[in-house]
Amino acid sequence: MYKNKNVLQRKKTLPVRKRRRPWLVIILAVLVVAAVVTSIVLLRHKPTTPKDTIHTTANSETKGEPQTSPASTPSQPNSSTPQSSEDASGQKPSQDGTTGQTSLVAPSGNFVSSHKADLSSVPSLQSVCVTTPGASCYITFTQGSTTKSLATQTTDRGGAAYWTWKLQDIGITEGNWTITASATLNGETKTGTDALKLEVTP
């Protein structure tokens, strides 16, 4: 009698187990499919960085310095319609209505990479002058009646000139030096003065 009862109980419980297993498999399959679909959607909508965010103006007429905006590189002028170029500072130089010449933009930029320098460590400094493309630009350092300057350079098609130099190259001594950039184009000259002075220690 007891054996028959055990057999009946096994028969009753066995189908229940068989019924539960398909549901478990279905639930697992649904979870796997949901995970795969989610990963595909995330990969397709992954943000990408535009290729033209940073580019260089490297060619035979430029120094190849990086530009942060496509608008800073002047477009090629059309033979039928003259265009004004836009310099690296975002300023667009105007043209003189009578002569058609491009007017000069006042110099701007990072006139010196560090406003504190040490003569004993012989640091290399970088200077940038941004103005109208094709202008002659130089940077001067003044202390009292003494003036030292970097060699004159012609700005590239982006409107910038670059220098890498050392204090000893131009004879700068200890003290505070006023920094001024000067640009000349078509007989016109404009200057820009750094708000900070170059502080040189022994």
- Does the structure show a pLDDT above 50 at 125? yes
Amino acid at 112: V
CB 150 within 8 A of CB 142: no
Parallel, antiparallel, or unpaired for β 146-149 and 136-143? Answer: antiparallel
The answer to whether residues 109 and 156 touch, using CB atoms and an 8 Å cutoff, is: no
Confidence (pTM): 0.53
- 160 by Cβ neighbours in 10 Å (0-12 / 13-18 / 19+) ranks as buried
Q: What is the DSSP letter of 156?
A: -
Q: Residue 189 pairs with which residues in a beta bridge? A: 184
Distance from first CA to last CA of the chain, Å, rounded? 109
Q: Band of the pLDDT at 136, cuts 50, 70, 90?
A: very high
155 and 137 Cβ atoms separated by less than 8 Å: yes
Give the model's pLDDT for residue 3. 52
Write out pLDDT tens, residues 60-93.
445 544 444 334 334 444 433 334 344 444 445 5
- Position 9 scores a pLDDT of 56
